[in-house]
């Protein structure tokens, strides 16, 4: 989607909302609260929460709709325009700024959200520039390194060694040495052996998770942040992006250079929704992949794949880095059943629901009690989640950071996605990001 398309869509949405009266285009539904989410894996957990909520609120029903990621945001945006939006929906920090700016969300200041009741930083992320809260903390995730144990064992790499990797943008450190050694060409030569054929690779040391658009959550963000780079000039609601920063560009040049060396799968190996990083590990196409905590059950549930997890590598700052993203539940401004929606969101963000969700062992709920329930559930399945949970507690050795929270996030993605694809897949120089960064900052300055 090109920039003019995104801007046009945003304008149409704004005009439509301006023309609607409060609650316009919706019919009252006093006994039902509609709720949307995108993760099919979490659906059973929230169906269980709905049962608990309905028991405590006789006469109120929760109707849950689950949609795939892309359809979810398309239909939600269309719903805001047509007046068919849900009462409550799972919100993402990337989308939140624009939704708040367009005034399609209901303030949740009276919900009684106390930041100290949730994992550090989760509650504060959902306060917009106008000072109002628009999201109730739901869950959180971090990023770690998944690896195929059979392949790492064959390469002579132990779990302890994988947890001790470091990197730098000059020679890649022990991390690059590890993925080079895990890479195997069609003749059986490893990436660090004489005669290795980078143009005829059978197994890549590192899977491709795509270009990463403008945030690189499960691609390059552990590297750019552990070298000391920040997305914008401010931690929250930045007014200028920093993709023109030379430290950032040198890191990106090194990272995508791994594909040129034959150690990382090419962009052509990745097809969003069709051949994600976990599929590349499961098929034996790649030995390791960075991915988020929401994918733990998917990796460990892959047939024939014995998987392990390791921390992100130590960077030049002396720390490991991982994005810590937190989702929230938001109420739409024109909700049909606003009173019921408030009750449902309050229940969703409570220990009652969060413990229920945690016991399913799919995600880490936002409250400490919910997180503990999830850790126990994973342990029961024989899954060690330390690589995901320790970064949240250990601030000495780890740096956690959030998505860049700014206005015009959709426009940033629309510009950065093709720009990063050109660097990764078409060999365009990283210096081309200077122009892209100028375009982005021009939009933010409007």
- Mean pLDDT of all residues in 202-216: 96
Q: Which of 197-206, 249-258, 268-277, 305-314 shows the lowest per-residue confidence on average (mean pLDDT)?
A: 268-277
Give the C-alpha separation, 204 to 183, whole Å: 5
Contact 357, 349 (CB under 8 A): no
Nearest Cα residue to 8 out of 263, 248, 16, 380: 16
Burial (CB count <10 Å: 0-12, 13-18, 19+), residue 28: exposed
Residue 1 has a pLDDT of 30
SS3 405: strand
Please tell me the total number of residues recorded for the chain in this structure: 446
What torsion, rounded to 10 degrees, do the Cα atoms 27, 28, 32, 38 define?
A: 40
Q: What percent of the chain has pLDDT over 90?
A: 88
What are the residue boundaries of the structural domains of the chain, listed by start? 3-140+326-387, 143-323+408-444
- The string of pLDDT tens digits covering residues 87-126 is 999 999 989 988 998 999 999 999 999 999 999 999 999 9
Strand order in the sheet with 88-91: 61-66, 32-37, 88-91, 325-331, 136-141, 364-365
- Lowest mean pLDDT of 183-192, 237-246, 274-283, name the range: 274-283
For the cut 90, the answer to whether the pLDDT of residue 235 exceeds it is no
Q: What are phi and psi of 29, to 5 degrees?
A: -140, 85
Q: What is d(CA 345, CA 210) in angstroms, rounded to the nearest whole number? A: 34
Contact in structure between 313 and 175 (CB atoms under 8 Å): yes
The CA distance from 416 to 410, in Å, is: 10
Q: Give the model confidence (pLDDT) of 252-304 as tens digits.
A: 999 999 999 999 999 999 987 677 999 999 999 999 999 999 999 999 999 99
Q: Which CATH architecture has domain 3-140+326-387?
A: 3-Layer(aba) Sandwich (3.40)
Give kind and range of the element (H or E) at residue 19. Answer: none
User: Which pLDDT belongs to residue 26?
Assistant: 40
Question: Helix or strand or coil: residue 334?
Answer: coil
Give the orientation angle of helix 368-380 with respect to helix 351-359, to 10 degrees.
Answer: 20
Residues 261 and 289 sit within 8 Å (Cβ to Cβ): no
Kindly state the average pLDDT of the residues 83-87: 96
Q: Which residue has the higher pLDDT, 430 or 6?
A: 430
Torsion angle, CA of 73/293/155/279, rounded to 10 degrees? -30
The tokens for 316 are 């030049």
Percentage of residues of the chain with pLDDT beyond 70: 93
| Distance from C-alpha of 37 to C-alpha of 172, rounded to nearest angstrom | 39
Q: Which fold has domain 143-323+408-444?
A: D-Maltodextrin-Binding Protein; domain 2 (3.40.190)
Q: What is the largest CA-CA distance in the chain?
A: 72
Arithmetic mean of pLDDT, 323-345:
97
Pair 323, 230: CB distance under 8 Å: no
Per DSSP, what are the bridge partners of residue 305?
none
| Encoded tokens for 69 | 């990621």
pTM for this model (two decimals): 0.91
At 417-426, the pLDDT tens digits run 999 999 999 9
Per-residue model confidence (pLDDT) at position 28: 45
Q: 3-state class of 16 per DSSP?
A: helix
Q: How far apart are CA 401 and CA 407, in angstroms?
A: 18
**Residue pLDDT, tens place only, 6-53:** 333 444 444 334 333 333 334 446 799 999 999 999 999 999 999 999
Residue from 444, 446, 421 nearest 433 by CA: 421
Which pLDDT value is given to residue 29? 62
Per-residue pLDDT at 271 = 80
Average pLDDT rounded to a whole number, residues 361-377: 97
Per the prediction, the chain carries an average pLDDT of 92
Q: Does this chain's domain 3-140+326-387 share its CATH topology with 143-323+408-444?
A: yes
Is 307 a residue whose pLDDT tops 50? Answer: yes
Give me the mean pLDDT over the 354-379 stretch.
97
């Amino acid at each position: 989607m090109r920039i003019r398309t995104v801007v046009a869509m945003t304008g149409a949405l704004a005009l439509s909302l301006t023309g609607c009266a409060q609650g316009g285009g919706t019919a009252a539904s006093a006994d039902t609260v509609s709720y949307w989410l995108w993760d099919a894996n979490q659906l059973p957990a929230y169906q269980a929460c709905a049962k608990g909520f309905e028991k405590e609120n006789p006469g109120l029903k929760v109707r849950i709709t689950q949609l795939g990621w892309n359809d979810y945001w398309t239909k939600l945006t269309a719903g805001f325009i047509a007046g068919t939006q849900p009462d409550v929906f799972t919100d993402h920090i990337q989308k939140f700024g624009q939704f708040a700016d367009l005034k399609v969300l209901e303030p949740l200041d009276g919900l009684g959200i106390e930041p100290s009741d949730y994992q550090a930083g989760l509650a504060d992320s959902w306060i917009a520039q106008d000072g109002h809260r628009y999201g109730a903390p739901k869950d959180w995730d971090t990023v770690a390194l998944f690896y195929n144990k059979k392949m790492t064992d064959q390469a002579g790499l132990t779990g302890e060694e994988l947890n001790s990797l470091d990197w730098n943008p000059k020679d890649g450190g022990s991390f690059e040495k590890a993925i080079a050694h895990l890479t195997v060409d069609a003749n059986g030569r490893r990436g660090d052996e004489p005669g290795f054929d980078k143009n005829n690779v059978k197994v890549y040391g590192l899977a491709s998770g795509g270009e990463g658009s403008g945030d690189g959550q499960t691609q390059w963000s552990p590297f750019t942040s552990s070298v000391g780079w920040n997305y914008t000039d401010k931690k929250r609601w930045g007014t200028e992006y920093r993709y023109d920063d030379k430290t950032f560009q040198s890191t990106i040049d090194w990272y995508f250079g791994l594909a040129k060396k034959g150690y990382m799968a090419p962009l052509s190996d990745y097809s969003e929704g069709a051949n994600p990083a976990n599929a590349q590990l499961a098929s034996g196409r790649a030995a390791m992949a960075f991915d988020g905590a929401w994918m733990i059950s998917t990796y460990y549930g892959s047939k024939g794949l014995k998987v392990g997890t390791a921390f992100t590598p130590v960077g030049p700052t002396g720390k490991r880095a991982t994005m810590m993203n937190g989702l929230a539940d938001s109420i739409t401004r024109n909700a049909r059943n606003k009173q019921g929606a408030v009750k449902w969101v309050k229940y969703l963000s409570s220990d009652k629901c969060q413990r229920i969700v945690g016991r399913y062992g799919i995600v880490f709920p936002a409250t400490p009690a919910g997180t503990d329930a999830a850790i126990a559930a994973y342990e029961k399945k024989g899954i060690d989640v330390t690589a995901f949970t320790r970064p949240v507690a250990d601030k000495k050795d780890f740096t956690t950071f959030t998505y860049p929270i700014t206005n015009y996030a959709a426009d940033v993605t629309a510009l950065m996605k093709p720009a990063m694809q050109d660097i990764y897949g078409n060999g365009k120089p990283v210096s081309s990001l200077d122009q892209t960064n100028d375009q982005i900052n021009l939009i933010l300055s409007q």
